[in-house]
Structure 1
Amino acid sequence: MRKLALSDEILLSIQQPARYIGGEINSVCKDPSSVDVRFAMCFPDVYDIGMSHLGIQILYDMLNKMPDVYCERVYSPWTDLDAIMREKHIPLFAIESQDPVKDFDILGITLQYEMCYTNILQILDLSGIPLHGSDRTWDDPIVIGGGPCAYNPEPIAEFFDLFYIGEGETAYRQLIDIYKDSRKNGESRETFLKRAAGVPGIYVPSLYEPEYHEDGTLKAFRPTCPEAPEKVVKQLVLDMTEAVYPEKPLVPFIKVTQDRVVLEIMRGCIRGCRFCQAGMIYRPVREKNVERLKDLAYKMLKNTGHEEISLSSLSSSDYRSLEELVRFLIEEFHGKGVNVSLPSLRIDAFSLDVMSKVQDVKKSSLTFAPEAGSQRLRDVINKGLTEEEILQGAADAFKGGWNRVKLYFMLGLPTETVEDMEGIALLSEKIAEEYYEIPKDQRNGKVQVVASTSFFVPKPFTPFQWARMSTKEEFLDKARVVNRKMKEMLNHKSLKYNWHEADVTVLEGVLARGDRRVAAVIEEAYRNGALYDAWSESFRNDIWMKAFETCGVDIDFYTTRERSLDELFPWDFIDTGVSKEFLKREWNNAVNGTVTPNCRERCSGCGVRRFGGGVCFEDQD
C-alpha cells in the first residue's frame, strides 16, 4: 500500500486534504524502478485550478504512454500546508507516488499566468531545488517551463534550465532521448543543456547573454555558444485530428474549477484581435475532425462519469462543423443527464438556438465580450463586432427567455478617450433598453446587465506590444468615469458595474514585458512573503513595491514608457511565425482605426503560412 507523504494528523488539520493524496480515477501508477525517466508535471497554483488545465491533462496522457517515462503531477500547496511543510521540513512531493520532487529527473512547470511567478519559486524552494539554474547539479531535476508565458521567458529565465516554446506534443520525445543518452554517457549537465539547445523549440537561457543601452533598453541578445540558435522557432501540431488526446482524463476527488469533460475542437483563432496574445501565438487555425470529436465525447464521458461536456477553443463559433457537433451532443447526451457547455461563442441566432436547448434559462446568464464601449475603439482593437450585432444578439436572447447578461470590457486600451469609457455605460443602457422593448407579459422577471472591466495589459507578440500602459491611478480614474456614467443611466437599477484590481494589473504589465533584470524583484518579493499573487486575498502590493525599490527596478520603464517601432524586445529571439513587420502594420492600423479582415475573409500576410496547414491553406471559396 502506498505511504502518504503527509501524516493523518496533518491531513486532518488542513483544508481539502484530497488535494494531496492522489489516487484519482484515471491517474497513472507505474513502478518507478521500471522506467528510465521520471517527469514531475507542475501547475504552480492550487490543485483546484491546476486540475482544470487541459494542457497538463494532454501532456500527462502523452508522457505516460511512453513506456520509459513515468509522469506524475505536482501543484502548489495551499498556504496552510505551505506553512506546515516549512515548519516540519517536509519536502514537496508528487501526487501519484508521494515521492519528493527533488528525486525526479525533469520538473516541467506550466507558465499560464504571470501572477503565478512567485508560486514557481515556492515549488522550487519546498522541493529543495536551488532557485537559480546556475546553482544546480545533476542532483537536481532539469527544470523546464512551457505555456503562454514562455513567449517572454526573460523575467524568470534564471530560475529555469530550459523553456519549451510551442505546443508540448511535438518535441518532448526527442528531448527525453537526449537526456537519457547524456546521463548514460556520463556527460556534464552543461553538455546536456547544449545538446538540448539543438532540439527545435527549446530555449536554454544560460546560453544567451543580453546587452543593454545606457537608457536601459536592450542593445543586443546573443547566444554565447554555437549550439544555441539565434532564433528559437515555435513548435506546433499541424494535424489536430491525429494529435494525442486523453480518452481517460483525470477525475478529481473534489470540486475543481472546470469539473467536466473538455473537448478541444480547434486551436488558433481567425479573428485577429490586436490585444489578444493567444490569437497571435496559436496561429494558424487548426480544426479537429468532427467524427474524431464524436468518438472522443463517447469515450471521455464513459471513462469519467462526468455529467457535463464543454467545447474548448478560442472562438468556438468559428469551428466549421460546430452545428453538426452540437446537434450530435444534444441528441446523444443531453437527454441522458449530460449537460453541454458552449463557451467562446459569438452571440448569433444559431448560438442562441443551441443554448436555449442546453441551458436552464432561469438560472443561466449570457456573456458578451464587446471589449470596448464605442464602435471607434472596437475598430481600433479589431474586435470585428458592431453595436448592431451586439444589440441584436441581446434582443434575441431576451426574447428567448434570458434576463441576465454579462458584459466584458477593457479600460486603458490605446487611443481611448472619455467618450469611449462612457460608451461602456451607454452600451449597457442600450442593452437593458432592448429588454424593455419586449411586451411586459413576455418578460422573464427583471433584467440585469453586469458590466465588468479589466485593465489593459500590453502583451508580447501582439500589435499592442508597443503600447503605453496606464498607471494605477489612471486605471482607477477610468473606472470612476464609467461608474459615474453608469449611475446617470435611466435604467441604472438594472445595471451593475465591477472592475479589476489596478495594482495587480500594473504588476502583470511589468512581468509580461519584463527582461532578466525583473527576476531579482520576483525573488525579493517571494522571500518577503509574496505568494498566490493571482488570488485577491493573498496579494500584497506593499511587498512588491518594496521589492522594486530594494532592487532599484523602475516600474514605469516596463509599463508607461513609450516604445519606438525599432526597439529590440527581450522576446524578439523567439519566432512565433507571426512576423514583426505584420505586428507593426497592425499597430499602425490600430492607430488609424483601420479594420483588418479575419483570416477566412482574406489573408493578411502575418507570416504563419510558412508553417503549413491551418486556415492559410484552406479553400477560401
Structure 2
Amino acid sequence: MNNLALTDEILLKIEKPVRYIGNEVNMVRKDPEGKIRFAMCFPDVYEIGMSHLGMKIIYDQMNRRDDIYCERVFSPWVDLDKVMREENIPLFALESQDPVFMFDFLAITIQYEMCYTNILQVLDLSQIGIYAKDRREDAPFVIGGGPCTYNPEPLADFFDMFYIGESETVYYDLMDLYKEHKQNGGSRKEFLRKASHIPGIYVPSLYETTYNEDGTIASFEPLYEDVPRTILKQVQMDLSNTFYPEKQIVPYIKVTQDRCVLEIQRGCTRGCRFCQAGMIYRPLRERSLPMLEKLASTGIKGTGNDEISLSSLSSSDYSHLPELCNYLIDNYRSKNINIALPSLRIDAFSLDVMSKVQDVRKSSLTFAPEAGTQRMRDVINKGLTEEVILHGAMEAFKGGWSKVKLYFMMGLPTETEEDIKGIAHLAEKIAMNYYSMDAEYRHGRISVGASASFFVPKPFTPFQWASMCEEDEYKQKAHIVNDEFKIQHNHRSLSFKWHDAKTTVLEGILARGDRRICKVIYDVYKKGCIYDAWTEFFDYDTWMETMEENALDYHFYTTRKRELDEVFPWDFIDIGVTKEFLKREWNNAMAEKVTPNCREKCSGCGAARFGGGVCYESKSKMD
C-alpha cells in the first residue's frame, strides 16, 4: 500500500518536495513482505535529520539483517504538515512511502529537548495515537533513544518503551523477542512486559511515581516484581568490530552536514562538570586506525563527498590522531577533499595539521574557554588555563590565522559579575597579543568573535543540583558583557552574541521535568506549537500559560534549590557513573577544586565497570 495521496500536485505546492520522495543514492530497497518493519524517525526537518550520524548507524545496523527492513521518517515541514492534516494523509516512510501505522516499530531519536512537540506531531500524523495507552493492539511500538532519554519522564506517557544506551548492544535482542512474540501470539502488554526484561529497555507503563507535598518525588517503583527497579545503560565497548555505514545515503539537497563523517571515539576523559555527554557516554572508547582508514576510503567512494570530518567529543584525545591525520592528508588532500578537524585543542600539533588541511586565510579557529576567569574555569573543571589559551592563539597567529571564535557559558554556579566581564577581558587580551606581534605575523585586522550560551543543568552531571537563572537575569548578564566589550581598547576587532534566554528556560524545564510535564507538552502541541527549536515558530508565552493551566510553577524545575538527597526523575537509570561521584564533583565545584583528567588519575566515577573494572583505554584501575 503506497502513499498515493502525496500527489505531484501537492509536491509542487510545497517547499523542497525532495525532502519526501526518497530514492537517494545508497538508499536501501527491500521487499517488506514477511519482514519486521522498523521506521527510524528524526523529529525535525529532513536536512537536520539526514546529518545525524546515530540515525545512519541504526539504519545500517537494522538493514544488515534480512528479516528487518528499516526505513526513514522525518517531521514534515509546516507547509506539508498543513496539507496532510487537511487531506488526512498519514505520515509515511521515505523508502516505501507506506504509512507509519503499517510498521512494527517507530523508533524516534531524541537529541534535543526543543523537539518534543515535533515528536507529538509525528505520532499524531502517523495516526497511531499520541498517548501510549490509547494505541490499538496492531499499532507500531514506539521506542525512544538518544541523549534526552537519560531523563525520559517528560515524554513517558507517549512512548511504549525507551532504549537506554547505544544501539549496537541489545536492539537485535529486542527484534528477536518481537519475532517470537508474533509467532506465538500475545497481547501488546505481554510483549512490553517481556521487553522490560532486556537490559537497557525501559517501559514507562510498568512504573508508578508518587510525589511529596512539596512536589518532589517520593517514590518511583515498578508495578510488578519481575520488572527491574533500575535500568542499566547499554555500552558497546568494542567500537572497532561493530556496525558502521560504509555507504551513507547521499541526499539530493544540501543538508546541514554534507560530509563523510568518521566517528573516531566515544566518551571523554575531561570531566567538565556542566557536560552531560561527557558523563553519559563514559568510558572513553576508540575505533582502531585500520577501521577508520577503511571507512574513509569506502565513505568517499560510496558517496562522492568532498569533505571528511572527524567526530568525537574531544578529537585531540584520540591516541592515533597523528597517524590518522597524516593518512588522510597523504591520501585525500591532493584529491581536493577537505579534512575537517572539530573538537581539537589548540596545540602545536593541531595547528600544524590544520595549516596543512585548511586555507588559513579563510578559516577561523575555535576555542571553548567556557568561562572568562580562571576561578570559573576551575569551578566547571574545564582544565584550561588562560596561559594555554593565549599561547594557543599566538601560535595560531604565527601560523597565518587572524579569525578566532570563542565559546562561553553564562549563568554557571557561583558565577560573579567579575567572571562574566572576564569574557570581554579574555577576548581583548587575545586581540592585544595579536597587535603586539611583529609585523611579519600580522595579516590585517584580527576578528575575535565571542558567543555565549546560557547554562542549563542537565541530568547526570555534577551540576544537576544547580539552580538556573530567571530569564531577566540571563538577559542582564548578556548586557553586562556586551557593554564590557564596547569599552575595550580593541573593541572594533571584537564581537559578542548570546543565546535566547526564553529558549534556555524552556530547555531547563524539559531537561529536568517529571511525568507531570507530559500533559503540558500535549496541551501546547494541541495549541499549535511545533518546531520550537526554530526561532520563527517558538511561542514561549503559550508554554508559560500552559504551565499555569496545569497548576505547575516553572520555577520548580528551574530556579529552585535542590538538596543532595532529593530523588530525581531520572534516578532509576544507571549510567555507570555513580551519584556519589557526581555529588563529590558538585562539592569539588563549590570548593573550586579541579579534578584531574581520567588519563592522569582515575577518580573512581564508576564507569570502569563496563570494562570489567578497568578503564578501557587508560587501563588504570579504579580507586
TM-score (normalizing by structure 1): 0.98
Report the Cα offset of residue 616 of structure 1.
Answer: 4.7
Report the Cα offset of residue 2 of structure 1.
Answer: 7.7
Q: Which residue of 1 aligns with 2:246?
A: 247
Letter in 1 for 2:84: M
Q: Secondary structure at the match of 1:209?
A: strand
Q: Quick check: 1:576 aligned with 2:587?
A: no
Report the Cα offset of residue 226 of structure 1.
Answer: 2.1
Report the Cα offset of residue 400 of structure 1.
Answer: 1.0
Letter in 2 for 1:12: L
Measure the CA separation in 1 of the matches of 2:447 and 2:573: 45
Which is further off, 104-113 or 183-192? 183-192
Q: Which residue of 1 aligns with 2:20?
A: 20
Q: Which residue of 2 aligns with 1:33?
A: 33
Tell me if structure 1 keeps the 8 A contact 2:141–2:160: yes
Q: Which residue of 2 aligns with 1:93?
A: 92
Matches within 5 A, 1:459-538: 459-538=458-537
Q: Which residue of 1 aligns with 2:236?
A: 237
Q: Which residue of 1 aligns with 2:55?
A: 56
Measure the CA separation in 2 of the matches of 1:79 and 1:377: 42
**1:77-115 superposed Cα distances (whole Å, 9 cap, x missing partner):** 011111111111111100000000111000000010000
Q: Which residue of 2 aligns with 1:158?
A: 157
Report the Cα offset of residue 65 of structure 1.
Answer: 0.5
CA pair 262-401 structure 1, distance change in 2 beyond 3 A:
same
Which is further off, 441-450 or 470-479? 441-450
Tell me if structure 1 keeps the 8 A contact 2:196–2:228: yes
Letter in 2 for 1:444: H
Measure the CA separation in 1 of the matches of 2:362 and 2:273: 34
Tell me if structure 2 keeps the 8 A contact 1:5–1:98: no
Measure the CA separation in 2 of the matches of 1:199 and 1:441: 64
Which is further off, 334-343 or 435-444? 435-444
**1:208-247 superposed Cα distances (whole Å, 9 cap, x missing partner):** 0001000000010000012310010000100010011111
Report the Cα offset of residue 550 of structure 1.
Answer: 1.3
Report the Cα offset of residue 362 of structure 1.
Answer: 1.8
**1:13-65 superposed Cα distances (whole Å, 9 cap, x missing partner):** 11111110001111101001142x10000000000000000000000000000
Letter in 2 for 1:81: L
Q: Which residue of 1 aligns with 2:370?
A: 371
Measure the CA separation in 2 of the matches of 1:320 and 1:15: 45
Q: Which residue of 2 aligns with 1:542?
A: 541
Measure the CA separation in 2 of the matches of 1:415 and 1:218: 27
Report the Cα offset of residue 3 of structure 1.
Answer: 7.0
Measure the CA separation in 2 of the matches of 1:366 and 1:12: 42
Which is further off, 609-618 or 134-143? 609-618
Q: Secondary structure at the match of 1:409?
A: strand
Measure the CA separation in 2 of the matches of 1:169 and 1:379: 36
**1:89-146 superposed Cα distances (whole Å, 9 cap, x missing partner):** 1111000000001110000000100000000000001110111111112221000000
Letter in 2 for 1:297: A
Q: Secondary structure at the match of 1:392?
A: helix
Measure the CA separation in 1 of the matches of 2:443 and 2:470: 42
Q: Which residue of 1 aligns with 2:551?
A: 552
Matches within 5 A, 1:63-212: 63-212=62-211
Measure the CA separation in 1 of the matches of 2:500 and 2:234: 35
Tell me if structure 2 keeps the 8 A contact 1:429–1:489: yes
Letter in 1 for 2:32: P
**1:443-499 superposed Cα distances (whole Å, 9 cap, x missing partner):** 222111111000000000000000001110110011011011111100111111100
Letter in 2 for 1:594: K
Q: Quick check: 1:408 aligned with 2:407?
A: yes
Tell me if structure 1 keeps the 8 A contact 2:602–2:620: no
Measure the CA separation in 1 of the matches of 2:569 and 2:281: 20
Q: Secondary structure at the match of 2:463?
A: helix
Measure the CA separation in 1 of the matches of 2:444 and 2:19: 41
Measure the CA separation in 2 of the matches of 1:514 and 1:65: 37
Report the Cα offset of residue 442 of structure 1.
Answer: 3.4
Report the Cα offset of residue 620 of structure 1.
Answer: 5.5
Large movers: runs of 4+ above 2 Å: 1-5, 438-442, 613-621
CA pair 4-245 structure 1, distance change in 2 beyond 3 A:
farther
Measure the CA separation in 2 of the matches of 1:5 and 1:185: 35
CA pair 416-49 structure 1, distance change in 2 beyond 3 A:
same
Tell me if structure 1 keeps the 8 A contact 2:285–2:616: no
Tell me if structure 2 keeps the 8 A contact 1:204–1:228: no
Report the Cα offset of residue 441 of structure 1.
Answer: 4.6
Q: Secondary structure at the match of 2:406?
A: strand
Measure the CA separation in 2 of the matches of 1:261 and 1:439: 40
Q: Secondary structure at the match of 1:516?
A: coil
Which is further off, 558-567 or 173-182? 173-182
Q: Secondary structure at the match of 1:32?
A: coil
Q: Quick check: 1:451 aligned with 2:459?
A: no
Measure the CA separation in 2 of the matches of 1:344 and 1:227: 44
Report the Cα offset of residue 5 of structure 1.
Answer: 5.2
Measure the CA separation in 2 of the matches of 1:366 and 1:138: 54
Measure the CA separation in 2 of the matches of 1:131 and 1:479: 39
Tell me if structure 2 keeps the 8 A contact 1:412–1:475: yes
Q: Quick check: 1:585 aligned with 2:601?
A: no
Gaps of 5+ in 2: none
Measure the CA separation in 1 of the matches of 2:615 and 2:468: 33
Q: Quick check: 1:395 aligned with 2:428?
A: no
Which is further off, 510-519 or 428-437? 428-437
Tell me if structure 2 keeps the 8 A contact 1:5–1:93: no
* Residues matched between the structures, number: 620
Q: Secondary structure at the match of 1:222?
A: strand
Tell me if structure 2 keeps the 8 A contact 1:578–1:607: yes
Q: Which residue of 2 aligns with 1:431?
A: 430
Q: Secondary structure at the match of 1:498?
A: strand
Report the Cα offset of residue 618 of structure 1.
Answer: 3.2
**1:182-203 superposed Cα distances (whole Å, 9 cap, x missing partner):** 1222201000000000001000
Q: Which residue of 2 aligns with 1:266?
A: 265
Give the CA RMSD over aligned residues. 1.3
Report the Cα offset of residue 513 of structure 1.
Answer: 0.5
Gaps of 5+ in 1: none
Letter in 1 for 2:18: A
Measure the CA separation in 2 of the matches of 1:349 and 1:619: 27
Measure the CA separation in 2 of the matches of 1:400 and 1:500: 31
Measure the CA separation in 2 of the matches of 1:2 and 1:102: 12
**1:483-529 superposed Cα distances (whole Å, 9 cap, x missing partner):** 11111100111111100000000000000000000111111111111
Q: Quick check: 1:45 aligned with 2:44?
A: yes
Report the Cα offset of residue 159 of structure 1.
Answer: 0.4
Measure the CA separation in 1 of the matches of 2:134 and 2:285: 41
Q: Secondary structure at the match of 2:414?
A: coil
Measure the CA separation in 2 of the matches of 1:129 and 1:174: 25
Q: In percent, how many aligned pairs have the same letter?
A: 63
Letter in 2 for 1:592: A
Letter in 1 for 2:604: G
Q: Secondary structure at the match of 2:33?
A: helix
TM-score (normalizing by structure 2): 0.98
Letter in 2 for 1:174: D
Q: Which residue of 1 aligns with 2:337?
A: 338
Measure the CA separation in 1 of the matches of 2:503 and 2:2: 41
Tell me if structure 1 keeps the 8 A contact 2:286–2:617: no
Letter in 1 for 2:400: G
Q: Secondary structure at the match of 2:23?
A: coil
Which is further off, 610-619 or 179-188? 610-619
Report the Cα offset of residue 615 of structure 1.
Answer: 3.8
